[in-house]
Amino acid sequence: MNGRATGISRARRFTDHIATAVAVGRTALVLVPLLLVLGYMLGKGATSLNAAFFLHSPLPPGETGGGMAPAIGGSVLLLIVASAMGVPLGLGAGIYLAEHGRGTRTAHAVRFTADVLNGIPSIVIGIVLYLVLVLRQHHFSAFAGSVALAMIMVPIITRTTEEMLLTVPDALRDAALGLGIPPWRTVLAIVLRTAAPGIVTGCMLAFARIAGETAPLLFTAFGNQFGSADPREPVAALPLQIFTYALSPYDDWHRQAWAGALVLLLLIAASVTTMRLFSGRGLRGFGADGPS
Amino acid sequence: MVPSVPEPGSTPDTQAPDIQVERLNAWYGSAHTLRDVTLHIPARQATALIGPSGCGKSTFVRCLNRMHETGAGTRVEGSVRLGGLDIYAAAQAADIRRRVGMVFQRPNPFPTMSVYDNVASGLRLNGVRRKRLLDEVVEHSLRQAALWDEVKDSLRTRSGANLSLGQQQRLCIARALAVEPEVLLLDEPASALDPISTSKIEDLIYELKTRYTIVLVTHNMQQAARVAERTGFFLDGALVEFDETKRIFTNPRDRLTEDYITGRFG
């Protein structure tokens, strides 16, 4: 509202308002499904959440009550073992692509493989591991499930790590090398640290993705009515349990499936938040932004 | 037990070495960017290198501390002797880079680190842990770089990227000085800075050259004339002329040098 409001500036302001309205509208449109899912899950699942749900094993079909303790424990076990394998491998491959193999044939091959692996349907990965691991060991196992999940994780982490490392300007590598800092230390202490927020986000995306995977677990972790913390045994997992319960004819199991979905979501949210807080420490306040 | 790191301020005063370069050639892939350069850079003086963009002067200084080889597809031939030590035949690249510090054209402080951590980074990442020693070196280096008074109250709370551009460049100089090099390579250190920051950097070079051997790449001929004892003129990867600064600017031997300094090209 300045005094020199000419026809042109009025037209521009009008266009500006339209553009803003369109952007806000589309943002709302994106948020609607998310809020619907969250609200529906809270409404359906929260009522079935009680102590027994977290502490008890499932009861035989048709009986009311029982809980998902084995599935919760199994999911935690699967995710920890899968992350322990997938995160270091993905990070290592990403560092190789961005820092050591730039422009080499090997790097092209690795990148291509990662992209193809990223596009393979997760059920295919499950079947492959069924053939490679489960059949040879003659039993389903948490370990096989974790390997399947790790295989989904690796290409995601590899590619995001590479992309994030490439955003770190070469000037910083020059600065560190020019101080006589050895190359491996330059990568770890300077380059990785500078790209850390983006890399952590990549790891969290991969984690959230595998936390909800069901298909690859059908042929590997298989499911288990009873709790097990032994990676050599088959284990239950939340997505598997939700799948089974949701398909069942029992109302109580349907309610528990909703509760399981809610717990799975909370589990992911909690892990992601913890990781963010943990990795953000020490970096906070030193953003790369200009003079304040 | 205690690493024998010299007390700050005591080191390079007397023993900063000269640099003897013989028939140095360098390539980026198939581009031959440096051709048969031979020159002697005297100890504890400032030597300026001038020439148009792409003439090879930056490549030349990057060969003096083995930074050239960090690029992909690069190659170096010839010899560079740092006080008698052949840096390509008889030394580790990292050791050479600690002895021959470098400041780049654009200030490049580590954005995730505080001012203090930036200056301490070279020592820390080379294994120095003693806090008292680090404190001393950080203060001494920042004082040498004429930045101490401006940052002493926010050493640990301010990011290195949170300073003005001129301050960032002095921070980079302090960071380079903290590892106690004997030679300082300055690759157009003031070309991204305003006139006041530029004159601060020049004062600094004037001060530092009593203790360090300094090589200054510059686009700015007045700058070379103000701070350097000797000046070399590069063209198309070759060293055209190398002499006392006064002579280069008043009575050059080579026609090309004269054309360049009188502004006929470049």
- The per-residue pLDDT for range A150-208, each reduced to its tens digit, is 999 999 999 999 999 999 999 999 999 999 999 999 999 999 999 998 999 999 999 99
Render chain A in DSSP notation, one character per residue: --TT--HHHHHHHHHHHHHHHHHHHHHHHHHHHHHHHHHHHHHHHGGG--HHHHHPPBPPTT---B--HHHHHHHHHHHHHHHHHHHHHHHHHHHIIIIISTT-HHHHHHHHHHHHHHHS-HHHHHHHHIIIIIHHHTS--HHHHHHHHHHHHHHHHHHHHHHHHHTS-HHHHHHHHHTT--HHHIIIIIIHHHHHHHHHHHHHHHHHHHHT--HHHHTTTB--SS----TTS-B--HHHHHHHHHHSS-HHHHHHHHHHHHHHHHHHHHHHHHHHHHHHTTTTT--S----
Residues A37 and A92 occupy one common structural domain = no
Residue A193 with chain B: CB contacts under 8 Å: 112
Report yes or no on B5 lying in a domain. no
The predicted model gives B121-140 an average pLDDT of: 92
Residue A99 φ/ψ region, left for φ over 0, alpha for ψ in the -120 to 50 degree band, beta for the rest: alpha
Residues A32 and A58 occupy one common structural domain = no
pLDDT of B3: 41
Taking residue B54's Cβ as centre, other Cβ atoms within 10 Å add up to 14
CA distance A171 to chain B (A): 6
The predicted model gives A2-20 an average pLDDT of: 79
Confidence of residue B12 (pLDDT cuts 50, 70, 90): very low
Residues 6+ positions from B20 with CB-CB distance below 8 Å: B40, B41, B79, B80, B81
Chain A residues in contact with chain B using a Cβ-Cβ cutoff of 8 Å: 102-103, 169, 171-182, 185-186, 189-190, 193-194, 196, 283, 285-292
Taking residue B207's Cβ as centre, other Cβ atoms within 10 Å add up to 13
Decide if B161 touches A, using CB distance below 8 A. Answer: yes
Query: Is the per-residue pLDDT at B9 higher than 70?
Result: no
The predicted model gives A9-38 an average pLDDT of: 93
The predicted model gives A130-136 an average pLDDT of: 92
Taking residue B223's Cβ as centre, other Cβ atoms within 10 Å add up to 22
Report yes or no on A270 lying in a domain. yes
- SS3 label, residue B164: coil
Name which of A44-58, A120-134, A150-164 the model is least confident about: A44-58
Taking residue A118's Cβ as centre, other Cβ atoms within 10 Å add up to 13
What is the tally of structural domains in chain B?
A: 1
Give the tokens for residue A137: 């060991």
Report yes or no on B55 lying in a domain. yes
The CATH number given to whatever domain includes residue A92 is 1.10.3720.10
Burial letters for A167-195: b for 16+ Cβ neighbours within 10 Å, e otherwise? ebeeebbbbbbbbbbbbebbbebbbbbbb
Distance CA A95, CA A112 (A): 15
pLDDT of A9: 85
- Calculate ∠ Cα A211-A213-A216, nearest 5°: 130
pLDDT of A283: 47
The predicted model gives B44-60 an average pLDDT of: 93
B230-235: strand order across its sheet: B100-103, B183-187, B213-217, B46-50, B230-235, B238-244
Query: Is the per-residue pLDDT at A1 higher than 70?
Result: no
Query: Is the per-residue pLDDT at A285 higher than 60?
Result: no
The CATH number given to whatever domain includes residue B162 is 3.40.50.300
Residues A149 and A22 occupy one common structural domain = no
Report yes or no on B11 lying in a domain. no
pLDDT of A289: 37
Residues A140 and A16 occupy one common structural domain = no
**Percent of chain B, pLDDT > 70?**
94
Element spanning B186, H or E: strand B183-187
Asked whether the beta carbons of B24 and B34 are under 8 A apart, the reply is yes
- The per-residue pLDDT for range B192-225, each reduced to its tens digit, is 888 988 998 899 999 899 999 999 999 888 899 9
Report yes or no on A139 lying in a domain. yes
Q: What are phi and psi of B234, to 5 degrees?
A: -100, 145
- Interchain proximity A102–B121, CB inside 8 Å: no
Report yes or no on A177 lying in a domain. yes
Which of A181, A187, A188 to mutate to probe the B interface, most B CBs <10 Å?
Answer: A181
Report yes or no on B34 lying in a domain. yes
Closest of B77, B40, B44, B71 to residue B58, by C-alpha: B71
* Chain-centre distance for alpha carbon B140: 19
pLDDT of A114: 95
Residues A85 and A229 occupy one common structural domain = yes
- Calculate ∠ Cα B176-B180-B181, nearest 5°: 75
- Calculate ∠ Cα B149-B151-B153, nearest 5°: 95
Q: Are strands B74-82 and B85-86 parallel, antiparallel or unpaired?
A: antiparallel
Taking residue B146's Cβ as centre, other Cβ atoms within 10 Å add up to 17
**Domain around B25:** 19-261
Q: What are phi and psi of A5, to 5 degrees?
A: -65, 100
Distance CA B23, CA B30 (A): 18
Surface-to-core class of residue A23, CB atoms within 10 Å of its CB (0-12 exposed, 13-18 middle, 19+ buried)? exposed
Residues A22 and A108 occupy one common structural domain = no
- Interchain proximity B159–A189, CB inside 8 Å: no
The predicted model gives B140-155 an average pLDDT of: 92
Report yes or no on A274 lying in a domain. yes
pLDDT of A282: 44
Residues A59 and A39 occupy one common structural domain = no
Query: Is the per-residue pLDDT at B4 higher than 80?
Result: no
**Domain around A41:** 7-48
Task: Report the mean per-residue pLDDT for chain A.
Answer: 89
Query: Is the per-residue pLDDT at A248 higher than 50?
Result: yes
Report yes or no on B72 lying in a domain. yes
Decide if B169 touches A, using CB distance below 8 A. Answer: no
Residues A29 and A135 occupy one common structural domain = no
Residues A262 and A275 occupy one common structural domain = yes
Residues A155 and A44 occupy one common structural domain = no
Element spanning B214, H or E: strand B213-217
Q: What are phi and psi of B81, to 5 degrees?
A: -110, 125
Decide if B11 touches A, using CB distance below 8 A. Answer: no
Residue A99 with chain B: CB contacts under 8 Å: none
Q: What are phi and psi of B235, to 5 degrees?
A: -150, 130
- Interchain proximity A287–B111, CB inside 8 Å: yes
Distance CA B234, CA B248 (A): 12
Confidence of residue A280 (pLDDT cuts 50, 70, 90): low
Report yes or no on A129 lying in a domain. yes
Report yes or no on B12 lying in a domain. no
Residue A279 φ/ψ region, left for φ over 0, alpha for ψ in the -120 to 50 degree band, beta for the rest: alpha
Report yes or no on A2 lying in a domain. no
Report yes or no on B192 lying in a domain. yes
Report yes or no on A287 lying in a domain. no
Asked whether the beta carbons of A141 and A231 are under 8 A apart, the reply is yes
Query: Is the per-residue pLDDT at B109 higher than 90?
Result: yes
Closest of A157, A152, A192, A154 to residue A173, by C-alpha: A192
Residues 6+ positions from A8 with CB-CB distance below 8 Å: none
Place of tokens 């080379």: B126
Report yes or no on A288 lying in a domain. no
Q: Are strands B46-50 and B230-235 parallel, antiparallel or unpaired?
A: parallel
- The per-residue pLDDT for range B72-102, each reduced to its tens digit, is 889 999 999 999 899 999 888 999 999 999 9
Query: Is the per-residue pLDDT at A290 higher than 90?
Result: no
pLDDT of A287: 40
- Interchain proximity B95–A290, CB inside 8 Å: no
Decide if B122 touches A, using CB distance below 8 A. Answer: yes
- SS3 label, residue B64: helix
What is the tally of structural domains in chain A?
A: 2
Q: Count CA within 13 A, CB hemisphere, residue A200.
A: 17
CA distances to A63, A95, A205, B31, B236 from A157, rounded to whole Å, are 43, 10, 8, 37, 45
Residues A18 and A161 occupy one common structural domain = no
Residues 6+ positions from A56 with CB-CB distance below 8 Å: A65, A66, A67, A69
